Amino acid sequence: MNESLTPANAPHSKPDTDAPACVAPHHLVTLHYRITLENGVPMVSTFEATPATLQLGDGTLAPQFERLLVGLPVGSRHTFTLPPEAAFGPRRDDLIERVRRADFPDDTAEVGTILSFAAPDGSRYAGVVVELDDEWGVVDFNHPLAGKTIRFEVEIIGVC
């Protein structure tokens, strides 16, 4: 089943004693999932390995993905196509920053290195080094999938 993300076709559970259990907010969910680019290039998948068990609402899974799971019955398999705005957001030029090499947390960084930087509030942000010279680096703090349409495929194995 291939579904586009729209409020009209968002899954919802209906009470039915003969129906299989459905995913609900704060459930513990065991599932297989796959995220691919729109052209089918795989980014992450559990289908070839052990399924994932996730607690909805604890921040492990992004809220936009959790909302797609709510109402899906155990045993079902769905594929959702999400535009950038509904997935990892659009690419933002303001998240590409010029950083002094002296402020890099790792002095062995090269182009392509992912570094973690501390923000003034103590939180941490990962960024990819995209340019580098002796004094400065350019770091892209966009999510690697920002600006991309993705497909999110799930198979619900169990809920509790």
Count CB atoms within 10 A of the CB of residue 83. Answer: 13
The C-alpha angle 37, 41, 45, rounded to 5 degrees, equals: 85
Kindly indicate the confidence band of residue 7, based on its pLDDT and cuts at 50, 70 and 90.
very low
Element (H, E) at 96: strand 96-100
Interval 130-135 mean pLDDT: 94
The mean pLDDT value for 128-146 works out to 95
Output the average pLDDT for the chain. 88
Q: How confident is the model at residue 31 (pLDDT cuts 50, 70, 90)?
A: very high
Domains and CATH numbers, the chain: 2-89+146-159 (3.10.50.40), 93-140 (2.40.10.330)
Provide the pLDDT for residue 105: 86
